[in-house]
Amino acid sequence: MEESGSSNNNKNNNKSPLHIELVLDPSAIITQARRDLTSIVVSKKKQSRSQSLSPSSILTKIHAGYFRISLSLCSQALLWKTLGEPTSHPNALQLLLHMIPTAVTIFLWSFVLLTLLLLSLLYLLRCFFYFKMVKAEFLHHVGINYFFAPWISWLLLLQSAPFVAPRTIYYLILWWVFVLPVIVLDLKIYGQWFTKGKRFLSGVANPTSLLSVMGNLAGAQAAAEMGWRESAVCMFSLGMAHYLVLFVTLYQRLSGTDRLPTMLRPVFFLFFAAPSMASLAWDSISGNFDISSKMLFFLSLFLFTSLVSRPTLFKKAMKRFNVAWWAYSFPVTMLALAAAEYAQEVNGCIARGLTYVLSGLSVLVSLALIISTALNTSMLLPDSDPILNLPTYR
C-alpha cells in the first residue's frame, strides 16, 4: 500500500505545472536601448555627412546668399588697403599698418580672391546643372537681391587690387565685365517694382532689397576711381533715386516688408551699409568728403547706433549658426571705411576715435565669423534655408 501511494504521488508530481521565474534587470535593458539609439544616431550622422560632402548636394544647397561671405571679405580687403595708404594726416593706426610686410597684405588679398573664385565657380556649376533651382531663386523676393552680391564683391575686390591701377585698360575691361550684369539686373528688378503685379515694391520690399542699390554705388565708386565722372554720376543717381523710395517703403513697414524669417534678421544691418557706400561713392566723385558725404555718413552712423542698441532684435537669429551671420561684417566694414574718409577730412580726435573703434570692430567681427564658420562647417549647408524654402513670386 505504501508503494502504491508513493507511485501515485510521483504521478501527481509529474503532472504538476512547471513554474519558471524570469528576472528582468531594468538597468540592463535601458543600457542596451541607449547603445542601440546611439548607434542609430551615429549612423545617421555619418550618412548625412557623406551626403553633405557629395558634389550634387553642395550644388543643390548653395545659393546666391552665400556671397555674403565674399562681400565681407572683399570689403575687408578694401578697408586694409584704404587704411594703409599714405595720407596728409597720418594717424597711429596707419603707422601701425605700415609696419606690416607687403607680402602679408598680398596674401590676404589672394585669400579673398580665391574665396570669391570658389564661390563663383560653385554657383556657375549650379546654374549649369540645376538651372530650375536658380530660376526659382530668381523669383524669390529675398533671393533675387543676392544676385547683386557677386558683382558688388568683384567691384570691391577690383578697387582693393594691389596689381591693377585704376587708370589702366585692364581696370576698364574688368569694370565693364562687372558692371554690365548690375545694369541688366537694374532694368529687370527696378522695372518690376512699378510695372508688375505681385512684384510691386510695396509687396516685395525687404532689407535685402538694399543690395540692388549697393550694386550701383559700388559701380559708381569704381568708375570715379577711373576718372569716368559722368558714368559715376549716372550710376550714383540711379542708385540713390531708388534708395530714397526703398528707404521710405521699408521705414513705413508697408505690406510685404515684414515677410522676413527670424534667421535672416542680421540683414537689417544693410540699412546703414547703403548710406555708407553712398558717402564713399560721392567722395570719389566729388574728390573730397564734402557736406553730402558727411550727411550720408551721419545717417549711417545713426542707423548703426539704432540697431546696436536693440540686441534683442537679433537674439533669436543668434541661437544657431547660419551663413546669414555674415551679414553683420560687410555693413560694419563699409561704415569703418566711411569713418576713415571722414577722419581724413576732419582730422579731429573724435573722428580718429570713430575710425579706430569701427575698424577694430570690423576686424573682430570678421575674425569671429571666420572662426565660427570653421567650427560649424557641418551647419554651413543646412537642409532648410529660408531663401530656398519660402514661396516665390511670379
Say if residue 193's pLDDT is above 90.
no
Q: What does the pLDDT read at residue 257?
A: 46
Query: Alpha-carbon distance 97 to 344, whole Å?
Result: 16
322: pLDDT confidence band, cut at 50, 70 and 90? confident
73-128 pLDDT tens trace: 999 999 988 887 766 666 666 666 666 667 778 888 999 999 999 999 999 999 99
Say if residue 2's pLDDT is above 60.
no
Query: Alpha-carbon distance 334 to 280, whole Å?
Result: 9
Q: What does the pLDDT read at residue 1?
A: 47
The dihedral over CA atoms of 301, 275, 166, 74, expressed in degrees to the nearest 10, equals 70
Q: What does the pLDDT read at residue 50?
A: 44
Which H or E run includes 275? helix 270-286
Query: Alpha-carbon distance 388 to 143, whole Å?
Result: 8
Q: Which of 14-23, 167-176, 200-209 has the highest mean pLDDT?
A: 167-176
Rg from Cα positions in the chain: 30
Q: What does the pLDDT read at residue 298?
A: 96
Whole-number mean pLDDT of the chain?
82
332-364 pLDDT tens trace: 999 999 999 998 888 888 888 898 999 999 999
Per-residue CA distances from 237 to 232, 243, 359 (Å): 9, 10, 28
Q: What does the pLDDT read at residue 172?
A: 92
Instruction: Determine the average pLDDT of the residues in 264-282.
Output: 93
Query: Alpha-carbon distance 220 to 9, whole Å?
Result: 111
Q: What does the pLDDT read at residue 217?
A: 95
Q: What does the pLDDT read at residue 78?
A: 93
Burial class (CB in 10 A: 0-12, 13-18, 19+), 120: middle
Say if residue 254's pLDDT is above 80.
no
Percent of the chain with pLDDT over 70: 77
Q: What does the pLDDT read at residue 275?
A: 95
Task: Label each residue of 96-130 as H, E or C.
Answer: HHHCCCHHHHHHHHHHHHHHHHHHHHHHHHHHHHC
Q: What does the pLDDT read at residue 178?
A: 95
Q: What does the pLDDT read at residue 393?
A: 44
DSSP state of 255: T
Say if residue 195's pLDDT is above 70.
yes
Say if residue 13's pLDDT is above 60.
no
Q: What does the pLDDT read at residue 202?
A: 74
Instruction: Determine the average pLDDT of the residues in 217-243.
Output: 93
29-88 pLDDT tens trace: 555 555 655 555 445 444 444 444 577 778 888 888 899 999 999 999 999 888 877 666
Any residues with CB less than 8 A from the CB of 127 and at least 6 apart, and which?
A: 134
Is pTM beyond 0.85? Reply is: no
Q: What does the pLDDT read at residue 388?
A: 58
Query: Nine-digit cell at 62?
Result: 548653395
Query: Alpha-carbon distance 287 to 298, whole Å?
Result: 19
Instruction: Determine the average pLDDT of the residues in 171-200.
Output: 86
Cβ proximity of 59 and 130 under 8 Å = yes
Of 29 and 382, the structure prediction assigns the larger pLDDT to: 382
370: pLDDT confidence band, cut at 50, 70 and 90? very high
Cβ proximity of 105 and 80 under 8 Å = yes
Where is average pLDDT lowest: 47-56, 184-193, 309-318?
A: 47-56
Q: What does the pLDDT read at residue 34?
A: 55
